[in-house]
Each structure stands twice: as structure tokens, then as C-alpha cells.
């Protein structure tokens, strides 16, 4: 397909490791909360160095190696959390909170198509699918209908395969 428009900006590269999350009485593993890294990160066919996925049956693998999320949607989620009383002090959600590896600006979900290739200086990524939120997303966001809100708003981000590894 075509390269993304030149207006694509990469705000943050985020990685994280799987850690326990309590949902009711259960403890499950999740790697949804990621944190920005300051130095270049190698991206291989299975994703970014230093990054994990807790459930490879749903996230990760060759077709979901990297997850991109538009930064502009963070304001939506802060408003959703505030309306539901989840956000006590109007704290700003940090980059990577949505579980994304790439916090981007300039390519919204309705502007990319499966098969589109994103050319970065040292690697090429290919859009493979929109994110389908799971029950862990509801728990992390703090309200039971977060996944539904994501789907209805179309603020799901998109998964990427690594066509040409690099940094």
C-alpha cells in the first residue's frame, strides 16, 4: 500500500513487562501499562525489545507485534474516567497507559487500513488489525464499560506487524 502521510509523528515509544492485576478476587497478569523509553529501541518481528504481552493468544505474535495508539484520544479517556468518578484529581494519564507501544499523532483509526505500511527511518511496520479491548482494559480504566466505550467511539488504535526490523 502507500506510506503514511508525512504528518505522522511518533510521540513516545513505550515498553512494559507483565505484572499482576487484581480484578475482584482474582489476580491476573497484564502488560497493559507501559512506560516511555528515552533511548532507541530495537523492534524485531515479535515486537520491541524489553516489551512483554501477558496473553500471547490475544496480544503479540507476528501480526500484533506492535500496538499504536493516537495521543489525541487520551483527552477522551480522561473525560470518561472523570465522568465516572474514577479520576479523583484529574490526573493526566501517562503515555503507555492504554497499553500502546507507539503513542502517535496524525494517523487516526479511520485514516489507516489493514495492509498500510508505516515507514520509519530504520524499520517498516504494517497495519494488521484494530485493537479489540478485553476485560483487563475495563479493570485498568476503572469502569466496567470501558471496552464498550472504546469500540463505540472508535478509539481502539491498531496493531502492526514488523515487515522490516530495525530501531
Q: What is the pLDDT of residues 70-81, one digit of tens each?
A: 999 999 999 999
Place of cell 485514516: 111
Q: Which tens digit of pLDDT belongs to each residue from 24-69?
A: 899 999 999 899 999 999 999 999 999 999 888 788 899 999 999 9
Distance CA 3, CA 1 (A): 7
pTM of the model: 0.92
Phi, psi at 127, each rounded to 5°: -65, 130
CB atoms within 10 A of CB 111: 13
Top-level CATH class of 9-164?
A: mainly beta
Which residues have a Cβ under 8 Å from the Cβ of 78 and sit 6 or more positions away?
87, 90, 92, 93
Amino acid at each position: 500500500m502507500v506510506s503514511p502521510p508525512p504528518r505522522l509523528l511518533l510521540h513516545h515509544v513505550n515498553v512494559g513487562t507483565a505484572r499482576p492485576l487484581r480484578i475482584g478476587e482474582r489476580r491476573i497478569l497484564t502488560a497493559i501499562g507501559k512506560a516511555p523509553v528515552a533511548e532507541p529501541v530495537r523492534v524485531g518481528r515479535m515486537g520491541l525489545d524489553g516489551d512483554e504481552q501477558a496473553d500471547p493468544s490475544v496480544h503479540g505474535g507476528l501480526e500484533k507485534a506492535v500496538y499504536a495508539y493516537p495521543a489525541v484520544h487520551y483527552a477522551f479517556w480522561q473525560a470518561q474516567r472523570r465522568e465516572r468518578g474514577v479520576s479523583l484529581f484529574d490526573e493526566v494519564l501517562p503515555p503507555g497507559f492504554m497499553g500502546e507501544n507507539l503513542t502517535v499523532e496524525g494517523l487516526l483509526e479511520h485514516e489507516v487500513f489493514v495492509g498500510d505500511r508505516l515507514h520509519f527511518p530504520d524499520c517498516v511496520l504494517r497495519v494488521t488489525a484494530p485493537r479489540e479491548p478485553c476485560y483487563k482494559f475495563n479493570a485498568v480504566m476503572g469502569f466496567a464499560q470501558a471496552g464498550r466505550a472504546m469500540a463505540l467511539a472508535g478509539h481502539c488504535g491498531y496493531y502492526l506487524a514488523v515487515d522490516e526490523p530495525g530501531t
